[in-house]
Structure 1
Amino acid sequence: MIFLKTEEEIELLRASNLLVAKTLGEIAKLIKPGVTTLELDRVAEEFIRDHGAIPTFKGFPNQYGDPFPATLCTSVNEQVVHGIPNDKPLMEGDIVSIDCGTFMNGFCGDSAYTFCVGEVDPEVRKLLKVTKESLYIGIQNAVAGKRLGDIGYSIQQYCESNSFGVVREFVGHGIGKDMHEDPQVPNYGKRGYGTMLKKGMCIAIEPMITLGGREIVMERDGWTVRTRDRKAASHFEHTIAIGPKGADILSSFEFVEQVLGDKAI
């Protein structure tokens, strides 16, 4: 069932997503060679709790019922999504997707940004740039009266036209009082197909794009998803509200980009 949100509920969603945005901004200050994803996770959890919210990812069960052990999903290089923070230092040339969720005042926030660690191979940096651009192309198609397939089609066409792979098995989602609500929001599709978009629908759009093939593998930890060919993967995500004339982006990369300056993707 798809729950349409009132203006008041959308503002509560915006507040939770703004906290996610600020948390990602705090993380952006720390990302450099030598830092561990476990250190980033500790900072994020403290920041979120200090602002009166709780991390939504921590304790969230997977398909086996195992709880996610951390605040952030930190997916490095060939890891696509759901990487678990650890004590292995990030290295020069790595990329790391930081996916963050909060729960505050009864509503969820969810957003992700893929960071460069020092100087990154130009082809990989292009992957990040195209993924981020595809996110905004998808958002441009998130208009009342269009359909979910229009979002997925636009993302797929843009990424595949740049010779990148589009992950099929993991998708975006509705969001509200629960982190994952209906509908599912694929990053591929056909124009004019799928659920019609209506004012008040709130969804998280999150392209997961690969440098090589789109095939993925689940690691033995039951969480981490990586590319089968072990080539790099990129992930960007915004939470939005559907409006009659366009999408209202409830999350933000503003705080990340203020920190990164001209090094931002």
Structure 2
Amino acid sequence: MPKKRINNWRIIKGQSLTALDKRILYLQNKGHLVPIRNLVKTPEQIEGIRRSGTINTGVLDLVQSEIKEGMSTEEIDRLVYDYTVSQGAIPAPLNFEGFPKSVCTSINEVVCHGIPDKNRILRNGDIINVDVSTILDGYYSDASRMFMIGEVSPEKQRLVNVTKECLEIGMKAARPFGFVGDIGHAIQKHAEKNGYSVVRDLCGHGVGLAFHEEPEVNHFGKKGTGMVLVPGMIFTIEPMINMGTYEVFIDAADGWTVITADRKPSAQWEHTLLMTENGVEILTF
């Protein structure tokens, strides 16, 4: 027996239907998954998230200026914490569901959620993803960048560059009143065309009023599927692209670190994005 469809877009009693209401109700009645109303942010909320994103970008700019061979990932964590609190903000990862640090530092075969450690030293040839999330006045933002340490092999360089292209292609595929599946389809097509795989077990997500909101933004899939993308929605695109298999596992020693099953390198780039009437606006640029 099919599941009963949930009425996601609810009309506010006593208010006349806007053009946005009418368009979303039309799509909902056609059987498409539409957002609940609080996923479409108000102008005030958007400005709050934008301010959070400005600090988040400042953190990554600082890391970019300081990161180098011989540095420990614990030193990166300290940079992130000190800068964030100096701006009156909070590092969102710190103590989130027990995560012990202020930033995720994921090196080579680590896909994501790498925990900073004083004994993990950056070496010549490493690639590292630094994933930063910021809370300012209750508003969340989230972004990550890849960094190449010293002389990196051409194979790793290409992986990093193609993964950035996947993010850019995913952003172009995100259109107002399009579908989340359009993003994943475009990313998967580009990654696999280049001989890489897309991690299936992790995804982008809504963000802004909480660290993780709906919708889940998979980086693989079919066009025309998933939630409708409505102007005012804020979400991340953060493709995790592997040189080998897409299969991963979580390190049992810490319960957080996600590693490629075949131990081949992985790369990731991420932005927080606002859907507008004309496409996405980057809030963490």
Alignment partner of 1:164 out of 177, 182, 196: 196
Residue 243 of structure 1, CA deviation: 1.1
Taking the aligned partners of 1:39 and 1:53, their CA distance within structure 2 comes to 19
Rounded to whole Å, the distance in 1 between the matches of 2:172 and 2:181 is: 13
Q: Once the two structures are superposed, what CA deviation does each residue of 1:76-128 show, in whole Å capped at 9, x if it has no partner? A: 10000000001221100001100001100220010000110111111111111
1:150-161 counterparts in 2 under 5 A? 150-161=182-193
2 CA distance for matches of 1:231 and 1:18? 33
CA distance in 1, matches of 2:177, 2:147: 34
**Aligned residue identity for 2:274:** A
Larger Cα Rg: Structure 1 or Structure 2?
A: 2
**What is the 5 A alignment of 1:23-172?**
23-61=59-97, 67-87=98-118, 88-172=120-204
Query: In structure 2, how many angstroms separate the alpha carbons of the residues matched to 1:148 and 1:228?
Result: 27
Provide structure 2 residue ranges, at least 5 long, that are not aligned to the other structure: 1-35
SS at match of 1:29: helix
The number of residue pairs the alignment matches comes to: 247
Instruction: Provide the TM-score with structure 2 as the length reference.
Output: 0.85
Q: Cα deviations across residues 124-156 of structure 1 (Å, max 9, x unaligned)?
A: 111110111110111111111110000010011
CA offsets 1:41-90 (integer angstroms, 9 cap, x no match): 001100000000001000111xxxxx000001000100000000012211
Q: CA deviation at 1:9?
A: 1.3
Residue aligned with 2:228, SS = coil
What is the aligned partner in structure 2 of residue 197 from structure 1? 229
Work out which of the residue numbers 16, 38, 41 in structure 2 matches 1:5: 41
- Residue deviations 1:145-193, cap 9 Å, x none? 1100000100110111000110000000000110100110000010111
The aligned counterpart of 1:243 is 276
The sequence identity of aligned pairs, in percent, is 42
Mapped partners of 1:212, 1:89: distance in 2: 25
Q: Where does 1:199-218 land on structure 2 (aligned, <5 Å)?
A: 199-218=231-250
- If the length of structure 1 is used for normalisation, what is the TM-score? 0.92
Secondary structure of the structure 1 residue equivalent to 2:96:
coil
The corresponding residue for 1:231 is: 264
Distance 1:172 1:186 in 2: 6
Q: Deviations over 1:180-228 (max 9, x none)?
A: 0011000001011111110111001100000111110110110000101
Q: CA deviation at 1:7?
A: 2.0
- How far off its partner does 1:8 sit? 2.1
- Name the aligned partner's letter for residue 156 of structure 2: V
In structure 2, what is the Cα distance between the partners aligned to 1:136 and 1:43?
28
Aligned residue identity for 1:92: N
> How many angstroms apart in 1 are the aligned matches of 2:175 and 2:137?
27
Counterpart code for 1:227: T
**Structure 1 ranges of 4+ moved more than 3 A:** none
Structure 1 residues not aligned, in runs of 5+: 62-66, 253-265
Q: Output the CA distance in 1 between the equivalents of 2:191 and 2:280.
A: 21
Query: Higher relative CO (CA 8 A, sep ≥ 6), structure 1 or 2?
Result: 1
